[in-house]
């Protein structure tokens, strides 16, 4: 098992937390859009028009570090 030299953390955990952080941020962003669509009573057929890839990417980039820190803390690193 390879380890990160600076913190002695298995690289598999680092890789998994990085990937998981991005997926969780994406899911969180979609949930926020879904909640807002429900509040505005948007028809489910029109829901896809609310999904903006660039806005979601910006949200993922903003939330990534905080989610990763939470995952690292929970996994003990």
pLDDT, one tens digit per residue, over 24-63 is: 999 999 999 889 888 988 887 777 777 889 999 999 999 9
Q: What does the block give as tokens for 72?
A: 């690292």
Dihedral sign for Cα atoms in the order 40, 42, 47, 51: negative
For residue 9, CA distances in Å to 55, 63, 72, 77 come to 33, 23, 10, 7
Query: What number is the average pLDDT over the span 9-22?
Result: 74
Can you give the pLDDT at residue 72?
85
Domain ranges of the chain: 11-74
Cβ contact 3:65 at 8 Å? no
């Amino acid at each position: 098992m390879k380890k990160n030299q600076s913190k002695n953390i298995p690289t598999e955990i680092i890789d998994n937390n990085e990937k998981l952080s991005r997926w969780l941020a994406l899911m969180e962003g979609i949930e926020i859009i879904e909640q807002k669509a429900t509040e505005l009573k948007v028809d489910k057929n029109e829901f896809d028009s609310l999904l903006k890839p660039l806005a979601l990417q910006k949200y993922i980039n903003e939330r990534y570090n905080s989610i990763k820190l939470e995952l690292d803390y929970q996994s003990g690193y």
